[in-house]
Structure formats: structure tokens, C-alpha cells
Amino acid sequence: MLTNVLFKENDDEITFKKIEEVSIRRNSLFIPIILTCDKEEICRRLISLDRANNYKLTDIERMCSLLKNKSILPIKHKNLLELDTTHLPAEESASIIVKHIINKTKENKQ
């Protein structure tokens, strides 16, 4: 599992394709997941101690600058899940993701 933010302006489409190719070479199921969230909620979450303890970005100014000046890479894929997490607790988001992965795994075995 990889987690990252891919931006249109950074030519991150190349990165996305490389990750997909690695998955294909490994004969693994590729399931891209896009988590979205309101900017205000992102800023609130950025300052949480949990993020710092997990070595995640906690710099509000840097994140807000990225969100203001760049566009998230649009992704189209048959296994895509796009989930707005603004009003969801982490446990519920995780549950939705796991269910999606299970469903896509079943679909791809048929």
C-alpha cells in the first residue's frame, strides 16, 4: 500500500502509471483510492499529534500553499474509490476502504 498526493502540475501521472505497472508486474490488484476533504478540515487535522507521531506533514502553511497552487491529479480507473472524509471518523473511512477492496478483489476473481 502506498499513500501520497499526486498533483497534475508535477507530472505525477508518470508516477501513477509506474505504480500501476509495478502492480501489474507483480500480478497484484491495483486499487487507487482518492481521499478528499474540505480545506478547513484538512487544516484542523494537520495539527494533530497523531500526524506528527506518524511522520506526516503537519505544516499548515505548506499544505495550504500546495492546495492553493496545485491541482490534484484526476484519476480514472475501473477500481477507483473516491471518498470524501470531511465528516467521517477515521474508523468509518477505513471500513469503507476495506469493503471496497474486498468487493474489487471478488469482482476481479470472476
For the segment 81-108, what is each residue's pLDDT rounded down to a tens digit? 999 999 999 899 999 999 999 999 999 8
84 falls within a domain: yes
Structural domain includes residue 54: yes
Whether 19 is covered by a domain: the verdict is: yes
Domain for residue 25, yes or no?
yes
Q: Is 48 left (phi over 0), alpha (psi -120 to 50) or beta?
A: beta
**pLDDT at position 68, please?**
73
Domain count, the chain: 1
Q: Is residue 41 part of a domain?
A: yes
Instruction: State mean pLDDT over 63-77.
Output: 80
The full 3-state SS of the chain, as one line of letters, equals CCCCCCEHHHCHHHHHHHHHHHHHHCCCCCCCEEEECCHHHHHHHHCCHHHHHCCCCCCHHHHHHHHHHCCECCCCCCCCEEEECCCCCHHHHHHHHHHHHHHHHHHHHC
Q: Is residue 16 part of a domain?
A: yes
Domain that holds residue 95: 8-109
The more confident residue out of 88 and 65 is 88
More confident residue, 51 or 19: 19
Domain assignment of residue 3, yes or no? no
pLDDT tens track for 32-58? 999 888 877 877 776 665 766 766 666
